Chains A and B, each alone.
Chain A
Amino acid sequence: NAGVTQTPKFRVLKTGQSMTLLCAQDMNHEYMYWYRQDPGMGLRLIHYSVGEGTTAKGEVPDGYNVSRLKKQNFLLGLESAAPSQTSVYFCASSPRIRPGQEYSPLHFGNGTRLTVT
């Protein structure tokens, strides 16, 4: 049981290049999330998905696109990378919170360190 797997672990891009970060979960979770972490800023939500084929904007969505074509995968794309997108990116997944059921926390991947020069 791998949990949440992020690919790649590290990446360096030049300004204007594009790339896609892949997140995969094997727990059949409905919800998936992309966060970015910057020094002194905590983790901020970029986009999230409540199910296959659905996506929604979080706190800091500009410059990013996402897709969830399969329930187990959540892709984060940067169409034209900028130095301001240098950050550590975390993917997470969780089941829907259901009344009366024991709480199941978010499961986090190990992060992707992206540097844009």
Chain B
Amino acid sequence: AQTVTQSQPEMSVQEAETVTLSCTYDTSESDYYLFWYKQPPSRQMILVIRQEAYKQQNATENRFSVNFQKAAKSFSLKISDSQLGDAAMYFCAYRTLSGGGADGLTFGKGTHLIIQP
């Protein structure tokens, strides 16, 4: 079974600065996706960024980028120019391609991100 570990229960950053959230995972498979989800107090699950394991290039979405290290099984999220609206719980998640992805997502325990004004 796959596992996803987020070792930072809480992180705090000053507005406009950069913060990096850590995630490691364990799998024996070679084809999979990795994700970062944002969950604000509204409870809505918002997909922030996706990385395909076969792609060496790190995914980027505006102020959000990842550092994907496949051999190390590491997948960190960097948020640049932090904004007050970035405050939320952030979940790292894994999804295998085998079986058409039937197993769904495996989540880490989450990191609570606080933005200091």
Contact = CB atoms under 8 A, between A and B. Distances in A.
Q: Say whether A and B bind each other.
A: yes
Interface of B: 4, 6, 9, 33, 35, 42-45, 47, 50, 52, 91, 95, 97, 100-110
Contacts of A106: 104-105
Contacts of B106: 45
Contact of A42 (B33, B52, B91): B91
B30 to A, nearest CB: 14
Contacts of A50: 100, 102
Interface stretch (A12-20, A62-70, A72-80, A86-94): A86-94
A41 interface: yes
A110 B39 CA distance: 11
Interface residues of A, number: 27
Nearest to B104: A33
A94 B100 CA distance: 10
A61 to B, nearest CB: 13
Given A31-B101, A97-B97, A42 B43 contact: no
A88 to B, nearest CB: 7
A97 B104 contact: no
B103 to A, nearest CB: 7
A105 interface: yes
Contacts of A33: 104-105
A56 B104 CA distance: 12
Nearest to B101: A97
23 contacts: A31-B101, A33-B104, A33-B105, A35-B107, A40-B109, A40-B110, A42-B91, A42-B109, A42-B110, A45-B104, A45-B106, A48-B104, A58-B104, A92-B45, A96-B102, A97-B97, A97-B100, A103-B33, A105-B50, A106-B105, A110-B42, A110-B43, A110-B44
